[in-house]
């Protein structure tokens, strides 16, 4: 091997009890049988040490793709390649994981085998968008690595202005709170938009995230353009025997302090006989009491999803939460799922036509107003969409009577 770069600052990150990524890099440098991997790891360690010393990054982007796609590779070229030669091209391959991030060890080893043939040996499960990140491959081997893993069932995720890789929680696979079939929702949505994942042609990124309940373990409301959250609309199930068992275990006081008084809508009453009464009409399915007393309390049977649109992080206009556009939707029949996919298509089509360059769906809604957005995608207004009605009197109400009439007609038809 060429000169071994000294890494006094990175060596500090081998101390302490938490697993050290630097020790991992050094194993690739020192112990891997493939000389190419040893040299790449040495070069990467050298460049990273240089970053630590100078407090600057030294990667630049570029254009690298695989045949037939325009997306899925994050190109990285070193700006200090003269010194750190072996990692001069160090691209990341973004690969779509299965919904819920399940793997067999056999499959992980097969992926390791392919990656060691072509790449650096560094992998992350998963990046913040949700992809498996194969970090560090040169331009030539990018195609070869993709060809090999694509043969046994793996495809690239999104990067750039396109539909991005989706994320969904463990959900029905291992969680009693789940009110949705996260696997099916995730697969139906993602695999309807495969073309939009691979070929960036949208104003900016568009993310789907699926959480099986209001605990929103996937951060869907804040981190996705279309958040699908499981919920239910009949009564919460209460097992009164288990309520009593819980009180016996933890005390009445504990249940009052941590369950009933923490209900955001005061929908719980602990009765004198240690039974619990739920005011289901006022329960907002926040999940708190179920989280605390998960043996005693369970979601109802009439399950479905709430859909929020327009969540995103800072750039450009500031953080936005997704907001309710569909308060409740059943997802049981083939038609239900088809209409979910069509709803996503309607939103993406309208945004693709009307979004400005680099404008997320939520920012477009902010710019044109939610009423125009709802009109465009054919969704009727619903008071579940708001925290409160408008406070400003600066508004023209020319068509008030006609709009009021629509409301009464919809009520009559329901």
Partner 1 sequence: MSENTKPRSPTESGCPDGFQYMHPLMRKNYGNWDHHDHPRPGVLKHVSKDGEPIWTVKCATQRILDTFSLRTLCDIGDNFADGHVHFTMRSNIEYMVADEAKVQPLIEEIEKNGFIVGGTAASVSSISHTQGWLHCDIPGTDASGVVKSMMDELIDEFKNHNMPNRVHITTSCCQINCGGQGDIAINVQHTKPPKIDHDLVGNACERPSVVARCPVAAIRPAVVNGKPSLEVDEKKCICCGACFPPCPPMQINDAEHTKLAIWVGGNHSNARSKPTFQKLVAAGIPNNPPRWPEATAIVKKILKCYKEDGRPWERMNDWIERIGWPAFFEQTGLPFTKFHLDNWRGARNSLNASNHVRF
Per CB under 8 A, contacts with partner 1 among 42-101 are 44, 48, 51-52, 54-61, 66-69, 74, 76, 90, 92, 96-101
- Write out the binding residues for partner 1, residues 331-360 only, by CB under 8 A: 356-358
What do you get for the CA distance between the two ends of the chain, in Å? 75
Q: What DSSP character marks residue 202? A: S
Rounded Cα–Cα distance for residues 259 and 239 (Å): 15
Min separation Cβ 395 and partner 1, Å: 18
By the rule CB under 8 A, 125 interacts with partner 1: yes
Pair 171, 214: CB distance under 8 Å: no
Of the ranges 286-294, 325-333, 346-354, 394-402, which one interacts with partner 1 (CB under 8 A)? 286-294
Class of residue 212 by CB neighbours under 10 A (exposed 0-12, middle 13-18, buried 19+)? buried
Min separation Cβ 284 and partner 1, Å: 8
6 versus 262: smaller Cβ distance to partner 1: 262
Min separation Cβ 264 and partner 1, Å: 6
Rounded Cα–Cα distance for residues 347 and 225 (Å): 10
Of the ranges 188-196, 271-279, 335-343, 345-353, which one interacts with partner 1 (CB under 8 A)? 188-196
Rounded Cα–Cα distance for residues 129 and 313 (Å): 12
Min separation Cβ 219 and partner 1, Å: 4
By the rule CB under 8 A, 367 interacts with partner 1: no
- 280: which 2 tokens? 């289901």
Min separation Cβ 170 and partner 1, Å: 7
Min separation Cβ 407 and partner 1, Å: 26
- Write out the binding residues for partner 1, residues 196-235 only, by CB under 8 A: 197-198, 214-223, 229
Of the ranges 147-155, 270-278, 371-379, 396-404, which one interacts with partner 1 (CB under 8 A)? 147-155
Min separation Cβ 298 and partner 1, Å: 8
- Write out the binding residues for partner 1, residues 247-266 only, by CB under 8 A: 257-258, 262, 264
- 167: which 2 tokens? 């994320």
245 versus 376: smaller Cβ distance to partner 1: 245
- 373: which 2 tokens? 């957005």
Of the ranges 119-127, 274-282, 378-386, 393-401, which one interacts with partner 1 (CB under 8 A)? 119-127
Contacts of 193 (CB under 8 A, 6+ apart): 163, 344, 348
Rounded Cα–Cα distance for residues 230 and 303 (Å): 7
Nearest to 73 by CA among 21, 131, 151: 131
Of the ranges 13-21, 333-341, 346-354, 403-411, which one interacts with partner 1 (CB under 8 A)? 13-21
By the rule CB under 8 A, 392 interacts with partner 1: no
Pair 182, 171: CB distance under 8 Å: yes
Q: Is the peptide bond before 377 cis (omega within 30 degrees of 0)?
A: no
35 versus 410: smaller Cβ distance to partner 1: 35
Q: What DSSP character marks residue 383? A: G
Rounded Cα–Cα distance for residues 386 and 372 (Å): 15
Please tell me whether residue 242 adopts helix, strand or coil conformation.
helix
By the rule CB under 8 A, 150 interacts with partner 1: yes
Task: Using CB under 8 A, pick the residue from 1, 4, 35, 112 that binds partner 1.
Answer: 112
Min separation Cβ 258 and partner 1, Å: 5
Please tell me whether residue 26 adopts helix, strand or coil conformation.
helix
By the rule CB under 8 A, 103 interacts with partner 1: yes
Q: What DSSP character marks residue 89? A: B
């Amino acid at each position: 091997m060429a000169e071994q770069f000294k890494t006094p600052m990175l060596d500090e990150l081998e101390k302490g009890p938490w697993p050290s990524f630097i020790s991992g890099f050094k194993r690739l440098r020192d112990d891997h049988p493939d000389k190419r991997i040893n040299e790449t790891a040495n070069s990467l360690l050298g460049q990273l040490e240089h970053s630590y010393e100078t407090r600057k990054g030294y990667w630049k982007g570029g254009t690298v793709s695989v045949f037939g796609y325009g997306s899925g590779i994050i190109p990285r070229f070193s700006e200090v390649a003269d010194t750190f030669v072996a990692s001069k091209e160090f691209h990341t391959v973004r690969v779509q994981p299965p919904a819920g991030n399940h793997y067999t060890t056999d499959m992980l080893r097969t992926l390791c085998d392919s990656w060691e043939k072509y790449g650096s040996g560094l992998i992350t499960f998963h990046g913040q968008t949700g992809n498996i990140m194969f970090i560090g491959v040169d331009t030539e081997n990018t195609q070869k690595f993709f060809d090999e893993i694509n043969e046994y069932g793996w495809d690239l995720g999104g990067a750039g202005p396109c539909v991005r890789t989706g994320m969904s929680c463990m959900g029905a696979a291992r969680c009693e709170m789940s009110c949705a079939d996260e696997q099916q929702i995730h697969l139906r949505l993602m695999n309807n938009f495969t073309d939009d994942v691979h070929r960036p042609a949208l104003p900016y990124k568009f993310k789907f995230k699926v959480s099986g309940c209001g605990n929103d373990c996937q951060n869907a409301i804040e981190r996705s353009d279309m958040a699908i959250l499981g919920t239910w609309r009949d009564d919460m199930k209460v097992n009164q025997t288990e309520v009593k068992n819980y009180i016996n275990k933890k005390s009445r006081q504990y249940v009052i302090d941590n369950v009933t008084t923490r209900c955001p809508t005061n929908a719980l009453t602990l009765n004198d006989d240690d039974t619990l009464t739920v005011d289901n009409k006022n329960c907002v399915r926040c999940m708190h009491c179920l989280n605390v007393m998960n043996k005693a309390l369970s979601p109802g049977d009439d399950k479905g999803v709430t859909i929020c649109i327009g969540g995103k992080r800072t750039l450009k206009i500031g953080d936005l939460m997704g907001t309710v556009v569909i308060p409740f939707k059943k997802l049981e029949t083939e038609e239900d799922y088809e209409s979910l996919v069509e709803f996503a298509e309607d939103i993406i089509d309208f945004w693709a036509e009307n979004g400005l360059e680099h404008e997320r769906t939520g920012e477009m809604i902010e710019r044109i107003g939610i009423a125009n957005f709802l009109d465009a995608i054919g969704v009727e207004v619903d008071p579940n969409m708001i925290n409160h009605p408008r406070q400003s009197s600066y508004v023209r109400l020319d068509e008030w009577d006609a709009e009021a009439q629509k409301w009464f007609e919809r009520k009559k038809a329901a």
